[in-house]
Structure 1
Amino acid sequence: MKLNKKQLFHIAEDFFQQQGWTAFPFQKMTWDAFLAGKHGLLNAPTGSGKTYALWVAIVLNYIKNNPDYKTKLKKGLKAIWITPLRSLSNEIEQTSQRFVDGIGLPFTVGIRSGDTPTAERKKQMKSMPDLLITTPESLHLLLASKDHQKFFGNLNAIVIDEWHELLGTKRGVQMELGISRLLGLSQELRVWGISATIGNLEQARQVLLGVDESRFRESVLIKANLKKEIEVKSIIPESMDKFPWRGHLGLHLMKEVVDIINSSKSTLIFTNTRAQCELWFQGLMTNFPELAGEVAMHHGSINKETRIWVENAIRNESLKACVCTSSLDLGVDFAPVETIIQVGGPKGVARFLQRAGRSGHRPGETSVIHFLPTHALELIEASALQKAVSTQAVEDRLPYILCFDVLIQYLCTLAVSGGFYPDEIYPEIKNTFCYASITEDEWDWCLRLIVHGSSSLQSYDEYKRVTIEEDGKYVITDRKVAMRHRLQMGTIVTATDVTVKYVTGGYIGSIEEYFISKLSRGDVFVFAGRTLEFIRLKGMVAQVRNSAKKRAQVSNWQGSKLPLSAQLGELLREEMINFQTGKKRTPEVKALRDIIIRQQRESIIPQRDQFLIETFKTREGYHAVFYPFEGRFVHEAMAGMIAYRISLLKPITFSLAFNDYGFEILSDQEFDMQEVLDNNLLTPEMLSQDLQSSMNATEMARRKFRDIAVISGLVFTGYPNKLIKTKHLQNSSQLLFEVFRDNEPENLLFRQAYTETFEQAIEEYRLFDALERIQNQEIIWKACEKPTPFSFPIITDRLREKLSSEKLADRIKRMQLQWE
């Protein structure tokens, strides 16, 4: 006899009671919606019980349709749980298994990712678990297997966890395609996403479910209204530089950080980059050796065993503190840590809230986050973040449109798995948000590319991957082509990593090839918290030994510069006014009082409707500093564009510097700022053309094209342990880029390289919005006698590119004294 809703809920509530819990309203709403056959998006913060919201719903739905569930179990895969991070899998597995064991349901839960042993994968192919926890890449590898229809035929649910992390990335597009295929294979499939708060939740639901209106009408958006109290405390130095500068990464506040570590049971210290993470860990070990063994480090390049050890040590509270990057931002569901420290501006409200939520990681508990400024002006950012926390002003995640490289990879995946008929697959693809606007001509072009290579590559057999059988089925029959495709599936194209090992053989981690390629034998560098001497590069393995030298360069990574989000830029501009009037009596306002007074005396603090430009002369030349407060990506593009526009009025060369608050144009000859303003140089008109001329857009597009060529399979990255060097990859993709530019400018992949350059690397839409805003503001040009406190961080940023940290500190001290 079938159970009714009340009886089904009773099963779950009994389990909750045994654990000493009560189900939240949002969990019950999710169970209800799922049992009613709906798709949906659940908006819930990390640590709120979201796994139980959906896993319980899936299990109750199975019980509803199989009342004799305790004696008769239908074999096969019933649900797939997608997680963007492998590190979350174990946690989800334990939570899911705990529930089914607790209610006496003989379900099995399995994990399938890059870390899953081969034997376990083979076992799964013979007999799938009831719930499979996997990543977007591993799901596509399953879709590439010959028997994939057999696996997915009885699938009832797919849950995409941390959907906000996938949205606005090519992995998200890959997920859209994966969902479209599963919906084609299983009529009963429910699609659900779990997302933290983002600005465009409704659009996030639309992207998840695709453009089929009936499916969207049958879906719900459920919000877990769990009020989370977040307390932001700024760490303020006893004395403030009158001329704030960045470059010391906040290390001068290390003693205050150690005091916080010692007064807390457990602390996470979040840095924005892996290099900063290494520096902070090194600094703590050098200056406070008594913390050895009590403080660890965690980032994505450290080997898996060490990362798991650190996560477990935080869980069982055997570590006092951990210096980490965003590798611990998401879910890794250890017991709540007591305290969070954020080093430097987090560049986005959502990221800041996510990190704050790691503390008091239980519903109803207050999260405490300490904000450590790396230069004085970041205290304004701290103040803006406090406002953002109270208003929940979080960023949108903008979805990608028409990623032809991901589509071409997907078509090859289907061709490897036993083949596909274009007429059957085309409607599925048109139903996704990413490809809703694809035309028949573009679709035919993609099909021609995988069969013949593009028009300029038809003479080369290596680009002919797919054959068409007599009945019109598209298949890959060549075993070598199939193997190469399977090895290269996925959309994460990073710079090639080099394995770092001791000469004696111990594995330490992996580091980007471009950093290692700059080292000579005997060079000393810091990595994974150790000081290492470089011996030699053997294939893709860097051999090293420990070094006792005190001075070493810090390993760095190319993805190390996060841009300020538009929302945080807006909040910063608003917050300026509070600092100017002095009405706010916060510790941040008090600490910055002298700097603010000095800035007002020598220039102004721009109000919301004002745009400030400062000019002054030093021994270096003539400086013009602009303050849009839009983040370094936008400033880099705007600086290049304005310098180009000035050079059209008068032949002149510039050097440029920029940070999150503004940018500097420096020249050895004077130019007339009034002429610049009179000629409307700060206008969005002719923006695309001027960007093309000023940013070397072709060079940027050429670099973007390397990733597109790899994802679409035009360039092969190599076999395991025989990876092709980044330099050679760049050369082969550049060759294709030149061929398309000269012979086939209408090539969709070639055009995509430019689209991505303008939309992602330059953020043209944000630049356009910023210039439109400036047009409606009062432009105030201040001719100053010397650099102002606001301009100082930008000037010192430029010097940091040229000088070692010791020389830079000396130089800055001299500059500060000179300008005092």
Structure 2
Amino acid sequence: MVREPVKTSNDKRGNAPEPACNQAPAKSSAATATATVDAMFASQGWKPFRFQRSAWRAYRNGESGLVHSATGTGKTLAVWMGPILQWLDQNPNREKWDAKRPPEARVLWITPLRALAQDTENALRQPIDALGLPWSLQSRTGDSSTSQKSRQLRRLPTALVTTPESLCLMLTHEKLHSAFAGLQAVVVDEWHELLGTKRGVQTELALARLRRLQPGLRVWGVSATLGNLDDAMESLLGPASADQGRLIQGYTKKKIQLESIIPKRIDRFPWSGHIGTRMVPQVAECLDEVNSALVFANTRSQTEIWYQSLLKHRPDWAGRIALHHGSLDGSVRRWVEDGLRDGSLKAVVCTSSLDLGVDFTAVDLVVQIGSPKGAARLLQRAGRSGHQPDAASRLVFVPTNAIELIELAAAQQAIADGALESRPLLSKPLDVLAQHVVTVAIGGGFDDKTLLNEVRSTASYQNLTNGEWRWILDFVVQGGASLHAYPEFHRVQRQGDRYQVTERRIATMHRMNIGTIVSDAAMKVKFLKGNTLGTAEESFLSKLNPGDKFLFAGRLVALVRVKDNFAYVRRAKGEPDSVPRWMGGRMPLSSELSRQLREKLHQAADGVLVGREMKSLKGLLELQQRWSRLPRVDELLIESIKTRGGYQLFVFPFEGRLVHEGMAALLAYRMTRRMKTTFTMACNDYGIVLQSPHRVDVAAAIDHGLFASEQLVADILESMNSTEMAKRQFRQIARVAGLIQQGYPGRQKSAGHLQASSNLFFDVFRQYDPDNMLLSQAEQEVLDLQLETDRMASALDRIENSTVVVTAPDRVTPLSFPLLVDKLRERVSSETLAQRIQRMQQQLEKAAGAE
């Protein structure tokens, strides 16, 4: 990989990619392409940055590569102007330009979210209009109209903005292959967001297919806030070409002002689960000081609640604040995005649906509700404001409990040290490959040896074995060893040396279900007489009775009835009975942030509190040290506390929720092999609690290998209901691999139907086809994705080389209190949880005050 050194410009204005240019350059056939583009920039008072010129030069030299630069520093134009400059080189005579006959397809721009497509299209159109180019530019996503998609099948525009799923759909149409063969470039936007996901693997396979159709294709990625750039380049360009790829570094360190709203009173016994809405007045004060802001929450449910809370606090903001998340209808999202652009909206409460893509120039403040769980995500969201390289991005952090202030301090240190999270790569997911093979079979068919070489040219499948490839072909041709008697699973037909899909029904169903995004079956939420509001998951709506009220799309609505995959609602008044819960909202603490968090506690143990956040927690940290201990980086803290509920073991590895879930089951399993007892458990991002009716000899358990990393996988599989976990994971794999279909638009199958079908396949395979590779994949994904066993093994190795400190406090400590609260959630009580917690806090504060 050829690395371009970081180069910046002294021009104070910088280069903001989005503002439109109203003056076209002088019409001169003698003007060089570079001079033409420079004139366009100058007309806006801009000057291209050196890293942008480096990208343009590399593109014109026929190179591929990756542009890595901080959010809001001009990455879009760094990759977009290369294809434009090349076309200007080839067409210097403006008099021959004909807007009625735009050039054929030249550039494919892949965006990770369809919600970004329109915004991206608008940003790309501005240089086209400013230069007066005769190019056509369109989008093609799930939100595009059927008529537009039909026109694009006849002729693609000069430049097309699309998503990985829509690109794969286009690959099933052989008539488009000639257009793809004429492409000059593919740009993959926000590559860091796709890297290490099945959608990223899907994109790798699609890029390999495009390279087969056009061997001279240039491929460029755009990325920010990424740690493993070498892996990113290899995945983007393929292992064979990664060394020749050009890595161009732009502004990797943008000016960022990170602030936090510190509560007037810090709870020395904090708890998680409440979402900090008591901080609404302080957030409203911050919003009052700015013209436009984005308020990020980590889940869609939080956005709904925060939007309503802000509106209740400031009813005069009705119409000036809005809501944005991926489950809202496309028309609602576009209205919000337009309001951000034209400055009519003061604030938008949003999720990661506004994390990515082209920035909104009006935004001058970002508010983060709760910990983003990673330094890179915090940096990404901060960059949504201050949309110029020389302008500072400002982010205000709102903790939802006191300990999150330590996370912010840790994130600030990680950013200062440049310790951004890496995205671990996926290795040959066979469900994605099976889907891709059917896609290629529909799009004209393939020769197995040629396609195998093409697949192996990707980073994800470079080590695909001949046996695995033969299994995939057998699976798509006759359903594998256990489904060969069922014709509906004979999706691909072999005709001589060619593999093709010949049945129209199979092709249609595959196109309807293409993609790797798997979630609970979604139903549209629609007013009984009016517009569609968006989608909610069937598992939530199925639990509601007619008349039940819930928050959705920033409104309080009541369910009227469910019919034909629509949930019909009406406006309601009063208080909501519930808030929708969507899957995929849980973000574990990153390994980099975990490391920095342990370092911050180590400093606190020495009495060193750096920054407002740590100083505000002085009382909490001193009490923790007095009653128990603040663990150092080379220590593992275990607190053994007797409560009315039994004997509690609180273990604090600070490794994140996913690791702790598996570790809790592992520790309980290992201890019960030595003594007869029963454990109940809970965990959070900081630690684990194990409750037993009997006292546990912790020292003896440690001596007998409690934290040993040997036999880790075997013990995990024994300690957990691994069969049930694998069965749940298999549902996603079966959907991606095409074993189960979600149905046609408007006639989607219920979640219960899909689950039953998936479970049936799982049981059949286990009984009659135990070597089925999709079963093995499900078991491995449980270990890698749900339990993070590699990270758990590293944590256990660290613990074995650390000093285990066991304390026996008389009462629950500040660190153990939130874990105890998490255990209480599982118990039934006549009191509300909040009331019980408040009473416990008062008792502990009284004990602390008595000292």
Q: How would you bin the TM-score normalised by the shorter chain?
A: over 0.9
Select 2:580's aligned residue among 540, 555, 575.
555
In the alignment, does 2:452 pair up with 1:426?
yes
Q: Is the 8 A contact 2:269 2:841 kept in 1?
A: yes
- For residues 557-593 of structure 1, the C-alpha deviation after alignment (integer angstroms, 9 at most, x for no partner) is 2222111110110110011123233333532233211
- Name the SS of the counterpart of 1:625 in structure 2: strand
Q: What are the within-5 Å matches in structure 2 for residues 126-137 of structure 1?
A: 126-137=154-165
CA separation of 1:802/1:302 partners in 2, compared to 1, >3 Å: closer, same or farther?
farther
Measured after TM superposition, the shift of residue 551 of structure 1 is: 4.6
Measured after TM superposition, the shift of residue 125 of structure 1 is: 2.0
- Name the SS of the counterpart of 1:272 in structure 2: coil
Give distance in 1, aligned partners of 2:272 and 2:221. 40
CA separation of 1:615/1:6 partners in 2, compared to 1, >3 Å: closer, same or farther?
farther
Structure 2 gaps, min length 5: 1-27, 847-851
In the alignment, does 2:147 pair up with 1:122?
no
Give distance in 2, aligned partners of 1:12 and 1:388. 38
Give distance in 1, aligned partners of 2:121 and 2:398. 36
Select 2:293's aligned residue among 267, 290, 295.
267
Which segment drifts farther, 443-452 or 74-83?
74-83
- Name the SS of the counterpart of 1:553 in structure 2: coil
- Name the SS of the counterpart of 1:750 in structure 2: helix
Q: Is the 8 A contact 1:77 1:131 kept in 2?
A: yes
Aligned to 1:670: 695
Give distance in 2, aligned partners of 1:726 and 1:610. 46
Give distance in 1, aligned partners of 2:313 and 2:33. 58
In the alignment, does 2:351 pair up with 1:313?
no
Q: What are the within-5 Å matches in structure 2 for residues 447-458 of structure 1?
A: 447-458=473-484
Q: What are the within-5 Å matches in structure 2 for residues 155-554 of structure 1?
A: 155-212=183-240, 215-225=241-251, 227-470=253-496, 472-554=497-579
Give distance in 1, aligned partners of 2:375 and 2:225. 10
Amino acid at match of 1:405: D
- For residues 153-194 of structure 1, the C-alpha deviation after alignment (integer angstroms, 9 at most, x for no partner) is 211111111000111111111111111111111132111111
Select 2:666's aligned residue among 641, 663, 674.
641
- Name the SS of the counterpart of 1:613 in structure 2: strand
CA separation of 1:150/1:173 partners in 2, compared to 1, >3 Å: closer, same or farther?
same
Give distance in 1, aligned partners of 2:544 and 2:129. 54
Select 2:726's aligned residue among 694, 697, 701.
701
Give distance in 1, aligned partners of 2:665 and 2:253. 44
- For residues 699-721 of structure 1, the C-alpha deviation after alignment (integer angstroms, 9 at most, x for no partner) is 11111111111111111111111
Aligned to 1:572: 597
Amino acid at match of 1:252: R
- For residues 28-75 of structure 1, the C-alpha deviation after alignment (integer angstroms, 9 at most, x for no partner) is 000111111111011022322222111211122233344446516784
Aligned to 1:624: 649
Amino acid at match of 2:519: T
Which segment drifts farther, 576-585 or 23-32?
576-585
Q: Is the 8 A contact 2:123 2:358 kept in 1?
A: no
Aligned to 1:38: 63
Give distance in 1, aligned partners of 2:384 and 2:836. 39
Give distance in 1, aligned partners of 2:94 and 2:430. 45
Aligned to 1:107: 135
Aligned to 1:735: 760
Which segment drifts farther, 528-537 or 742-751?
528-537
Q: What are the within-5 Å matches in structure 2 for residues 650-669 of structure 1?
A: 650-669=675-694
Amino acid at match of 2:477: V
CA separation of 1:598/1:327 partners in 2, compared to 1, >3 Å: closer, same or farther?
same
Q: Is the 8 A contact 2:208 2:457 kept in 1?
A: yes
- Name the SS of the counterpart of 1:789 in structure 2: coil
Measured after TM superposition, the shift of residue 442 of structure 1 is: 1.2
Give distance in 2, aligned partners of 1:236 and 1:394. 25
Give distance in 2, aligned partners of 1:125 and 1:336. 37
- For residues 380-419 of structure 1, the C-alpha deviation after alignment (integer angstroms, 9 at most, x for no partner) is 1111122122222110011111111111111111111121
Measured after TM superposition, the shift of residue 490 of structure 1 is: 0.8
Give distance in 2, aligned partners of 1:115 and 1:786. 56
Select 1:140's aligned residue among 145, 168, 174.
168
Give distance in 1, aligned partners of 2:448 and 2:619. 68
Amino acid at match of 2:812: P
CA separation of 1:105/1:520 partners in 2, compared to 1, >3 Å: closer, same or farther?
closer
Which segment drifts farther, 117-126 or 630-639?
117-126
Give distance in 1, aligned partners of 2:132 and 2:643. 77
Aligned to 1:598: 623
Measured after TM superposition, the shift of residue 149 of structure 1 is: 2.0
Aligned to 1:49: 74
CA separation of 1:141/1:438 partners in 2, compared to 1, >3 Å: closer, same or farther?
same
Measured after TM superposition, the shift of residue 4 of structure 1 is: 14
Which segment drifts farther, 665-674 or 402-411?
665-674
- Name the SS of the counterpart of 1:158 in structure 2: strand
Which segment drifts farther, 607-616 or 251-260?
251-260
Amino acid at match of 2:308: Q
- Name the SS of the counterpart of 1:268 in structure 2: strand
- Name the SS of the counterpart of 1:518 in structure 2: coil
CA separation of 1:749/1:582 partners in 2, compared to 1, >3 Å: closer, same or farther?
same
Amino acid at match of 1:186: Q
Q: Is the 8 A contact 1:708 1:749 kept in 2?
A: yes
CA separation of 1:225/1:529 partners in 2, compared to 1, >3 Å: closer, same or farther?
closer
Give distance in 1, aligned partners of 2:30 and 2:269. 66
Structure 1 runs (4+) deviating above 4 angstroms are 3-6, 66-70, 801-806
CA separation of 1:415/1:551 partners in 2, compared to 1, >3 Å: closer, same or farther?
closer
Structure 1 gaps, min length 5: none
Q: Is the 8 A contact 1:70 1:104 kept in 2?
A: no
Measured after TM superposition, the shift of residue 794 of structure 1 is: 1.2
- For residues 516-575 of structure 1, the C-alpha deviation after alignment (integer angstroms, 9 at most, x for no partner) is 122223322222222222233223222222222325222112222111110110110011
Q: What are the within-5 Å matches in structure 2 for residues 684-695 of structure 1?
A: 684-695=709-720
Aligned to 1:23: 48
Measured after TM superposition, the shift of residue 344 of structure 1 is: 1.1
Measured after TM superposition, the shift of residue 226 of structure 1 is: 5.3
Q: Is the 8 A contact 1:227 1:364 kept in 2?
A: no
Give distance in 2, aligned partners of 1:680 and 1:184. 53
Give the length in aligned residue pairs. Answer: 815
- Name the SS of the counterpart of 1:222 in structure 2: strand
Q: What are the within-5 Å matches in structure 2 for residues 739-750 of structure 1?
A: 739-750=764-775
Q: Is the 8 A contact 1:609 1:778 kept in 2?
A: yes
CA separation of 1:642/1:227 partners in 2, compared to 1, >3 Å: closer, same or farther?
closer
Q: Is the 8 A contact 1:88 1:333 kept in 2?
A: no
Measured after TM superposition, the shift of residue 311 of structure 1 is: 1.3
Measured after TM superposition, the shift of residue 803 of structure 1 is: 6.6
Give distance in 2, aligned partners of 1:266 and 1:415. 49
- Name the SS of the counterpart of 1:456 in structure 2: coil
CA separation of 1:484/1:543 partners in 2, compared to 1, >3 Å: closer, same or farther?
same
- For residues 293-330 of structure 1, the C-alpha deviation after alignment (integer angstroms, 9 at most, x for no partner) is 22211111111111111111122222222211111111
Aligned to 2:849: none
Q: Is the 8 A contact 2:153 2:176 kept in 1?
A: no
Which segment drifts farther, 669-678 or 114-123?
669-678
Measured after TM superposition, the shift of residue 669 of structure 1 is: 2.5
Give distance in 2, aligned partners of 1:70 and 1:142. 34
Give distance in 2, aligned partners of 1:667 and 1:536. 46
Q: Is the 8 A contact 2:107 2:184 kept in 1?
A: yes
- Name the SS of the counterpart of 1:758 in structure 2: helix
Q: Is the 8 A contact 2:662 2:787 kept in 1?
A: yes
